[in-house]
Structure 1
Amino acid sequence: MPILRTSNLIKRFGNFTALDGVNIEMNEGEIFGFIGPNGAGKSTTIRILLGILKATEGEAKIFGLDAWKDAVEIHKRIAYVPGDVNLWPNLTGGEVIDLFVKLRGSNHKSRREELIKKFELDPTKKCRTYSKGNRQKVALVSAFSSDADLYILDEPTSGLDPLMEKVFQECVMDAKKAGKSVLLSSHILSEVEKLCDRVGIIREGKIIETGSLNELRHLTRLNLVVESRQPMPKLHEIKGVHDIIQKEQTLSFQVDSEELDNVMKYISQFGIVKLESSPPTLEDLFMRHYEGSRGEA
Structure 2
Amino acid sequence: MTQGSATADSRVALPPWSIDPADRERPAPALGDLVRTAAAAWPDRPALHDGRLGLTFAELERRATTLAAWLAGQGVGPGDRVAILAEKSALVPVLAVAIWKCGAVYVPLDGTAPVPRLRGLLGRLDPRVVLALDDREPVAESGRWVGRTELDGILSGPAREWPTVPHGPDATAYIIFTSGSTGEPKGVEITVANLVAYFGNHNEVLRFTPESRVFSLSPFHFDVSIEDTLLPLSLGAFVHQFRGMHAGAVMRAVITRERITHLIAVSTLLTMITEGGKHVTRENFPRLEMVMTGAEVCDPGVINVWKDGLPEVRVINVYGPTEA
Q: Normalising to structure 2: TM-score of the pair?
A: 0.26
Higher strand share: 1
